Structure 1
Amino acid sequence: MRTISVELGDRRYPILIEAGLIDRAAEALRPLARGRPMAIVTDSHLRSHLAKLQGSLDAAGIASEALVLPPGEASKSWAVLAQVCDWLMARGIERSDHVLALGGGVMGDLIGFACAILKRGCPFVQIPTTLLAQVDSSVGGKTAINTAAGKNLIGAFHQPAMVLIDPAVLDTLPPRELAAGYAEVVKYGLIDDADFFGWCEANGAGLLAGDAAAREQAIAHSVAAKARIVAADEHETNGTRALLNLGHTFGHALEAEAGFDGSLIHGEAVAAGIALAFRFSVARGLCPPADAERVSAHFRAVGLPDGLAAAGISASGARLVDHMRHDKKMAAGTLPFLLARGIGRTYLDRSVDLDEVAVFLDREPR
């Protein structure tokens, strides 16, 4: 088992990585049991994983109860948030009880936010079942729901007590979801680790095809990178953690335009957003064109979109920029952008004019 720690003082927590971990989850969760049934929240696509988790708990003499929700971004809503909170309160949840969040980024974001606000905060455990959640969203404590104005606009920072990552569950993940999660793996190489991007170019196709060793290596490397960044800037105040948003400002605008209807899922939007960020950096004279093309070529090679046309977005630059104006990072009318001076050389730029972004987007192929 690999163990990586997120160093946050007295809120330090472990990330455990091992194939088959869900089948043995009770070993890690036993210290958190308090004599009452443990609450599990998951979605209907994950009943087989839920059965394994509850089977492990049952074998250890730990009772559990589960709430099974509809899958997909539509569950990150006020209505489903209320449903989760009401269900937990009906079971007499106390502030020291740990809730188990079993699922991908949607479940982690939703359940984490419910735990952040329930009785002013109760602990939870992330058990991510998608590559995207395993390498990114399960670590770091960002929790949220979506609104009509945009993605993740209502939320809170609420760190998990523990993260249990079982790479074996990726064997049951649909190929599209697996590829979408891979976009977040690539991101870590593009931020500040050019050698890791090179590793992705050499191993990404194998990872997606089922190479278990490559998957575990990608997860461990990504999680360690995120743990380091979160420890340095937990609440995104000094600019370090903002680097994790590479591609997300463009990507969230694409998701909002797509209407969160499943036609463009988060990781796909991030891939397109990263490629756009690199090309925008080229347009500003910051990044070598060859580096931007290398990024786009890698996304194309693994079946991910590398721009508006591939993402199925035909909206004007002005419309996409209107979505960006709702971004939660907007401050004093200015939206910071993650731009690149090259692969592994991402930086935060607070001087970007959104009109310039609209012009750039209008020049992108539809």
Structure 2
Amino acid sequence: MKEVRVDTPGGSYPIRIAPGRLDRLAESVPADATTLVLVTNPTVAALYGKRAEAALRASGKPVLRVELPDGEAYKDWQTLNLIFDAMLAHHCDRRAVIVALGGGVIGDVAGFAAAVYMRGIRFIQVPTTLLAQVDSSVGGKTAVNHPSGKNMIGAFYQPIAVEIDTDVLNTLPAREVSAGLAEVIKYGAILDAAFFAWCEAEAGRLRALEADALAAAIARSCELKAWVVSQDERETGLRAILNFGHTFAHAIEAGVGFGAWLHGEAVGCGMVQAAELSVLAAGLPRGDADRIRALVSAIGCPTYAPDLGTERWFDLMQGDKKTEGGQIRFILLPELGRAVRTPAAAEQVRRALDLTVARQAGEPSAIATLA
């Protein structure tokens, strides 16, 4: 088993990475827990619900299962209330522990529920998608979406443990694998050029879910994110670099409707867009931008964004959480392995959109890629 520790003012906790961790969840259950609230969705419950419940019951605690509708479209206030309704109906107290079993949507919603139920209770992350394992389950960002933007209502709230069972990835659809790999290569792009080069060499093995390559990618991704989060828990400075590609990605997700694209697909495409903007506004060498586009394509993510219309793009990006005083601040790369947070001129952004939005015949359109 590989263990990575996250140390923040909001809490210190282990990330445990190994095959079979799903059967050992009781190891993370606090001795004083009263009820374990297993939050999941029907798809994950059908695959792993009974195993997870059995593992949690081995702790000697009662388990309440709450199933939420499946998909990004249900990452909203109404779905959040389903957790509260079930917990209040079963008289869950402040020593109840929420266990989030699922992908990023489940982790974000269940984590937010833990952050605000009775002003805060403990929770455990059990991510079942690659994207959740390397990104959303680590670092304490919890939220629901609003029609005006993604993750606009939420809290920084750390789990007490993250349990990563690498075996569960064998049931992931290919699109979900590609989406998770986008977040993996992001860490190399912003923090570790050698890791980026390793991902280039291992892209085929990663897409094929070869165990040793996948375990190495997950562990390194968690190490890099843990280091950043430990330095800046609440995204007042350094942690913002983890949003590389996300300003464009969130515009894609809001523009086409939450759930039409997987988050990682939008991040992959958004990184291509941010790389083009980096060439124009941050001095990234042309060859490095081409490497990013090539690797995003190699892992199976779109490299051209949908044509939302330039003004719509700007409207959506202005609504992003990273906008300050009406000015969009992008995460850009002066070079592979180093990221900076900076504004960009409107004309530079327009040029980057021209280079990355599927508008001309013969371009590999994002929608066709996903179809």
Same-fold call, TM > 0.5? yes
Relative to structure 1, is the Cα distance of residues 159 and 207 closer, same or farther in structure 2, using a 3 angstrom cutoff? same
Cα deviation for residue 363 of structure 1 reads 4.6
Contact 2:140 2:156 in 1 (8 A): yes
Structure 1 residue 360 and structure 2 residue 357: aligned? Answer: no
| Distance of 1:133 and 1:32 partners within structure 2 | 27
Q: 1:58: which partner in 2? A: 57
Distance in 2 (CA, whole Å) between partners of 1:205 and 1:100 is 33
Which one of 241, 245, 248 corresponds to residue 247 of structure 1?
245
In the superposition, the TM-score normalised over structure 1's length comes to 0.94
Give per-residue Cα distances to partners, 1:288-328, cap 9 Å, x unaligned: 111100110111122111222xxxx1122221111011111
Comparing 356-365 with 244-253, greater Cα deviation is found at 356-365
Question: Which has the higher mean CA deviation after the structures are superposed, 68-77 or 277-286?
Answer: 277-286
What amino acid maps onto 1:256 in structure 2? A
- For 2:206 and 2:282, locate their aligned partners in 1 and report how far apart those are by CA, in whole Å: 34
CA distance in 1, matches of 2:58, 2:338: 49
Shift of residue 59, structure 1, vs aligned partner: 4.2
Distance in 2 of aligned mates of 1:13 and 1:231: 11
1:307 and 2:298 aligned: no
Amino acid of the structure 2 residue aligned with 1:277 = A
CA distance in 2 between counterparts of 1:364 and 1:222 reads 27
Q: Is the 8 A contact 2:248 2:274 kept in 1?
A: yes
Residue 250 of structure 1 deviates from its aligned partner by: 0.7
SS in 2 for 1:5: strand
How far apart in 2 are the matches of 1:10 and 1:136? 18
CA contact (8 A) 1:249 1:324 kept: yes
Cα distance in 2 for residues equivalent to 1:139 and 1:150? 22
Q: How does 1:24-35 map to 2 (within 5 A)?
A: 24-29=24-29, 31-32=30-31, 34=33
- In structure 1, which of residues 290, 294, 304 is the aligned counterpart of residue 291 of structure 2? 294
Name the CA shift for 1:285/1:234 in 2 (closer, same or farther; >3 Å): closer
Over 6 Å off, 4+ runs? none
* Alpha-carbon contact 1:190-1:344 (below 8 Å) kept: yes
Structure 1 residue 248: Cα displacement: 0.3
2:119 matched to which residue of 1? 120
CA shift digits 1:182-206 (9 cap, x unpaired): 1000000000200000110111220
Tell me whether 1:181 sits opposite 2:206 in the alignment.
Answer: no
The answer on whether the counterparts of 1:139 and 1:223 sit within 8 Å (CA) in structure 2 is: yes
1:18 corresponding residue in structure 2: 18
TM-score by length of 2: 0.92
User: What does residue 362 of structure 2 align with?
Assistant: none
Distance 1:225 1:315, change over 3 A: same
Name the residue aligned to 2:275: 278
Identity of aligned residues (%): 45
Alignment correspondent of 2:103: 104
State the alpha-carbon separation in 2 of the partners of residues 100 and 135 from structure 1. Answer: 18
The alignment partner of 2:315 has SS state of helix
Does 1:326 pair with 2:319?
Answer: yes
How many residue pairs match? The answer is 357
Q: Distance in 1 between matches of 2:22 and 2:86?
A: 24
Q: What letter matches 1:248 in structure 2?
A: H
Q: What amino acid maps onto 2:69 in structure 1?
A: P
Could you say if the C-alpha distance between residues 317 and 20 of structure 1 is closer, same or farther in structure 2, counting changes exceeding 3 Å? Answer: same
Instruction: Name the structure 2 match of 1:83.
Output: 82
Secondary structure, aligned partner of 1:70: coil
Report the counterpart of residue 2 of structure 1 in structure 2.
2
Contact 2:143/2:154 (<8 A) preserved:
yes
Give 5+ residue unaligned stretches, structure 1: none
Corresponding residue number in structure 2 for 1:265? 262
In the TM superposition, what whole-angstrom CA distance separates every residue of 1:211-253 from its partner, at most 9, and x where no partner exists?
Answer: 011111111111111111001000011x210010000001111
Gaps (5+ residues) in structure 2?
Answer: 359-371
SS of residue matched to 1:336: strand
* Equivalent residue letter for 2:92: I
Read off the aligned partner of 1:283 and give its amino acid letter. Answer: L
Aligned residue in 1 for 2:364: none
Contact 1:17 1:220 in 2 (8 A): yes
